[in-house]
Amino acid sequence: MGIEATLPQDSFVTTQLTKVINWARRSSLWPLPFATACCGIELMATASSRYDLARFGAEVMRFSPRQSDLLIVAGRVAIKMMPVLQRIYQQMAEPKWVVSMGACASTGGVFDTYAVVQGIDQFLPVDVYVPGCPPRPETLIEGIMAIQRIVDEDGLPSKGGLRQPLEIAVQPTHEVKPQPVPLTVGRGV
Ligand code: SF4
């Protein structure tokens, strides 16, 4: 039932402009899917008819950064790919939000190797982490609803302030650890 039908005749509603703007923003998030691995399949399922991300107004996936305001990183990110991801993030207009979907994007997951970024939050400001390997579509929807709550509360990412400048990924994110067992690399017999 629409709000017009529930109000008595000739009555009116007052609100604040920021509330209306935030309501419009949270109801029309445009995600940019940066899907690099298996988590991307669950991301696709989230937009399918069974889970119907359109219920939250966030089904319009865009691969053009300037039309998107919600970056969803789904899957592991190689160190060579991070500058590309950062460029995409920089091209998105403010206000913008970032979801780190799955163990790999958030921590590197099982890929404890020099080639995989051990958590994209070392290089991007992440707003919501979605746990799982892979997260189910319901979990991603919960993450998107968390973004909507952030929009409702302060309207802008990073608690009302502008984003911090990004660092370009030139240094390794991996801390070298000793081999678990003594290992000798030789010619063999
Ligand atoms: S978190 Fe699991 S499902 Fe997601 S990309 Fe990594 S290995 Fe694949």
Each residue's pLDDT tens digit, 113-164:
989 999 998 888 888 899 999 999 999 999 999 899 888 886 555 554 555 5
- CA 65, 68, 71, 76 dihedral sign is negative
The rounded distance, in Å, linking the Cα atoms of 26 and 152 is 7
Q: What angle do CA 156, 105, 102 make, to 5 degrees?
A: 90
Q: Which residues contact 107 (CB under 8 A, 6 or more apart)?
A: 118, 119
Distance 2 CA to ligand 1 centre (A): 42
pLDDT per residue over 79-95, tens digit each?
A: 999 989 999 998 998 88
Q: What distance in angstroms lies between residue 107's CA and the mean position of ligand 1's atoms?
A: 11
Domain 28-169 classification at class level: alpha beta
The identity of residue 120, as a single letter, is I
Which atom of ligand 1 is closest in space to residue 37's alpha carbon? 5
Q: Kindly report the protein residue whose alpha carbon is nearest to atom 6 of ligand 1.
A: 104
Q: Is the CB of 41 under 6 A from ligand 1?
A: no
Residue 141's SS3 state is helix
